[in-house]
Amino acid sequence: MTFDAAPLYNEVAKGPATGQAHWVRTSDGLRLRIGHWRSTSDTEKGTLLLFPGRTEYVEKYGITADFFAREGYATLAVDWRGQGLADRLYHDRLRGHIDRFKAFQTDVDAVIQHATDLKLPKPWYVLGHSMGGAIALRALHNGLDVKAAVFTAPMWGIRVPDALRPIARILGHVAPLLGYGGWLAPSTSAGSYVLEQAFDGNLLTNDPMMYQYLRDHLAHEPKLELGGPSVQWVYEALKECTALADMSSPDYPCLTFLGDNEEIVSTEAIHNRMERWANGTLEIVPKARHEVLMENISTRSATHNKIITFFSQFKTP
């Protein structure tokens, strides 16, 4: 099968040399970029389907892919619609926008089809980070073809002050009807968080080298940059989190990591979900912030090794 080659900035991603990226069309006609890295081990143990968070892109997970490649696992990551090099959904390409949150499931379908076409080794696993955690949870309820799930700081709830929640919902409902759904959400910035926020005081990581790693990606390819969300994105995300919270936990083995200095997603929603996940485990990561996989090398290594141990339970396709 012939694939439509897309750029992969592996020199700044620092992923294994096996990396490739392709353009893929969704069933509703949007163009996504999907990247993958094959195992660099003598054995192939499976594939990690990595579902990134909001603002993210394939290259962010090059270092993660390098670790898993050395352990025998392929990694596939996607630029969701509206971010990375995928088709943007608003005339201001820096605006994080979505018409319907469930549209991300159309992207999931494209990811699964591409992984199938690439014949990536099974068993498959999903790792959902932040927004990708909400997308992955919905996909699991839809019967995602994976053996198990891993989450890092999943967006099963968003930190919005209680007093502002009714305002956010009303604004999100009314603004699209008036043609203002693409407006920048209040209290957010039009530009990239990692470029505008100094390392000191950031909510993502305690590791200055990893923070610079994220900045280097955007300096190398500014088209990867994404700013704050639209009013409609916030409304749709809150609506999806509410809908997911009302659902039972899917019947998959699950391992979830949560930094004890998390300040972006709702820790209450994560604890609530994991208390209701019969075959799920919640790991609290000391001193970690939102980006558990972007923390210092000792924290990253411990997290990676726990994931590998978790995967070792599932050795057959």
| Residue 73: inside a domain | yes
Answer yes or no: are the C-beta atoms of 126 and 230 closer than 8 Å: no
Q: What is the pLDDT along the chain (317 residues), one digit of tens a residue?
A: 799 999 999 999 999 999 999 999 999 999 999 999 999 999 999 999 999 999 999 999 999 999 999 999 999 999 999 999 999 999 999 999 999 999 999 999 999 999 999 999 999 999 999 999 999 999 999 999 999 999 999 999 998 756 456 656 666 666 666 566 788 887 889 999 999 999 999 999 999 999 999 999 999 999 999 999 998 899 899 999 999 999 999 999 999 999 999 999 999 999 999 999 999 999 999 999 999 999 999 999 999 999 999 999 987 66
Q: CA-to-CA distance for 144 and 252, rounded, in angstroms?
A: 10
Boundaries of domain holding 237: 4-311
pTM value > 0.85: yes
Q: Among candidates 77, 74, 73, which has minimal Cα distance to 60? A: 77
- 91: number of Cβ within 10 Å: 8
Q: Is residue 209 in a domain?
A: yes
316 found inside a domain: no
Domain count for the chain, please give it.
1
Classify residue 317: in a domain, yes or no: no
What's the CATH number where 268 sits?
Answer: 3.40.50.1820
Q: Does residue 191 lie within any of the structural domains?
A: yes
Cα–Cα distances in Å, from 249 out to 110, 193, 244, 279? 24, 32, 9, 9
228 assigned to some structural domain:
yes
